[in-house]
Amino acid sequence: MGNHRVEQIAVGQLRARQAQVVVGRSLLPQQPPHRHPHAGDDHYLFVSKLFTAAWGGIAVSFALFANLVENLIQATNILASIFYGVVLGLFLVAFFLKRIGGTAVFWAAAAAQLLVFALYFTLPISYLWYNVIGCAACVLFAVVLQPVVGPGVTTTVRPCNRSGRACSAPPR
């Protein structure tokens, strides 16, 4: 067996291990016994195969998408621009608009992401603009939706000791 064949086998085993790690991390929320108290090993084997197929589909979809652009860096930047604007909008709302509740932000992010998808498939603009559009839409939709969904549950963080540090223990 030549060195080239050994390298191919090693790379294949490494990629298989990477896929196992991704699937394993996807299955962690399924592991607590309160989710499926009577589930046996067969159930978790089936679910892990399902996640393996789903992640494989995502990887193949990205490979097909990357084939349509000039290089892998551009493909990564386009894909990131589609999602990162909305994520930035979520952070801006969380840090600067304290009166906006979680329900309004959730639906605002969903609407902003749908808007970015619609614009990506209909408008021929530079992909970098999707960051700006997604961020602005998320913040704007959250501000508009907050009066519609009403006030959420508010919590106040009280100092735990004289240093003013926040306390994680519930009040007595």
Q: What is the CA radius of gyration of the chain?
A: 22
pLDDT tens across 98-120, in order? 899 999 999 999 999 999 999 99
Closest residue by Cα to residue 93 from 80, 76, 106, 105 = 105
Q: How far apart are CA 32 and CA 29, in angstroms?
A: 7
Specify whether the CB–CB gap between 131 and 85 falls below 8 A.
Answer: yes
Total count of domains within the chain: 2
Structural domain including 106 reads: 70-151
**Same domain membership, residue 44 and residue 92:** no
pLDDT tens across 54-85, in order? 878 887 888 888 788 888 888 888 889 999 99
User: Which pLDDT value is given to residue 25?
Assistant: 61
Residue 168 falls inside a structural domain: no
Residue 35 falls inside a structural domain: no
**Does the pLDDT of residue 164 top 70, yes or no?**
no
The pTM of this model reads: 0.61
Residue 78 falls inside a structural domain: yes
